[in-house]
Amino acid sequence: MQCYFLQDGHVTDVVEMLPLGLSDEDAIAKARTLSAKRKGPDSFQIWGGGRVAFTYPDPAKNPQAWLAWPATSSPSPAAE
């Protein structure tokens, strides 16, 4: 799984590869810890196997992040 850190809806130059075999819940916990240690990112997405496993903050509460980072494997809440 990969964790992408975003600032104002754009991917920063920092991408973390999460350990193989993590459950979605464990990947989310790891990404929250990594995000808290970084200066700058205001959100993150976890991708695994071509799917968005998790987006923080919730795209329904922050649709602008989805507009700047369209997910092709999941429908955008803004498009519904």
> If pLDDT is split at 50, 70 and 90, which confidence band does 35 have?
confident
Chain mean pLDDT for the chain: 75
Q: What per-residue confidence (pLDDT) applies to 80?
A: 38
Helix, strand or coil, per DSSP, at residue 10: strand
Structure confidence at residue 43 (pLDDT): 85
pLDDT at site 70:
45
pLDDT of residue 62: 56
Binned at pLDDT 50, 70 and 90, residue 66 comes out as very low
Could you give the strand order of the β-sheet that contains 2-7, starting from the edge strand earlier in sequence?
10-17, 2-7, 43-48, 51-56
